[in-house]
Amino acid sequence: MKYQALAEQIIENVGGKDNVVDLIHCATRLRFKLKESQKSNAEQLKQSPEIITVVESGGQFQVVIGNHVNEVFQAVNQLLDTTPNSINQRPKTDENAVKKDKENLFSYFIDIVSSIFTPILGIMAASGILKGLLSLSEALGWLSSSSGTYQIWFAASDALFYFFPLVLGYTAGKKFGGSPFVTMTIGGALIHPMMMSAFQQSLIAGTPPEYFLGIPVTFINYAASVIPIIFAAWLSCLLEKRLNQVLPSTMKNFITPFLCLLIIVPLTFLVVGPLATWVSMLIAESFQAIYNFAPIIAGAFMGAVWQICVIFGLHWGIVPIGINNLSALGHDALFPLLLPAVAGQIGATLGVLLATKNAKMKIMAGSSVTAGLFGITEPAVYGVTLPLRRPFIFGCIGGGVGGAIVGYSQTLTFSFGLVNIFTFAQIIPEHGIDNTVWGAIIGTALSFLFAATATRFFGIKKEAISPETPIKADIASTPHEAPNEVLAPLSGAAIPLKDTPDETFASGLLGQGAAIIPSTGEVYAPFDGEVSSLFKTGHALGLLSQSGIELLIHVGIDTVKLDGLHFSPQIKQGDVFKAGDLLLTFDREKILEAGYDLTTPVIVSNSDDYASIEFVELNKSIQRGQKFITVNHK
C-alpha 339 chain-centroid distance: 19
CA distance linking residue 174 with residue 195, whole number of Å: 25
Contact assessment for residue 23 and residue 31, using Cβ atoms and an 8 Å cutoff: yes
Query: Which is it for strands 627-633 and 610-615: parallel, antiparallel or unpaired?
Result: antiparallel
Query: Which is it for strands 512-518 and 522-524: parallel, antiparallel or unpaired?
Result: unpaired
Q: Which member of 26, 237, 309, 396 is catalytic? A: 26
CA distance linking residue 382 with residue 378, whole number of Å: 6
Q: In what order do the strands lie in the sheet with 610-615?
A: 485-487, 627-633, 610-615
CA distance linking residue 350 with residue 11, whole number of Å: 35
Q: Is position 26 annotated as part of the catalytic site? A: yes
Contact assessment for residue 338 and residue 309, using Cβ atoms and an 8 Å cutoff: no
553: closest CA among 565, 540, 544, 566?
540
Sign of CA dihedral 107, 179, 228, 428: positive
Report angle CA 26, 21, 111 to the nearest 5 degrees: 45
- Between helix 390-409 and helix 435-458 the angle, nearest 10°, is 160
Beta bridge partners, 24, equal 31
CA distance linking residue 18 with residue 570, whole number of Å: 29
Contact assessment for residue 507 and residue 481, using Cβ atoms and an 8 Å cutoff: no
Q: How many helices (H) and strands (E) does the chain have?
A: 25, 20
Distances in Å between the Cα of 372 and the Cα atoms of 67, 282, 350, 380 are 11, 34, 10, 7
Contacts of 294 (CB under 8 A, 6+ apart): none
C-alpha 142 chain-centroid distance: 36
Active site residues: 26
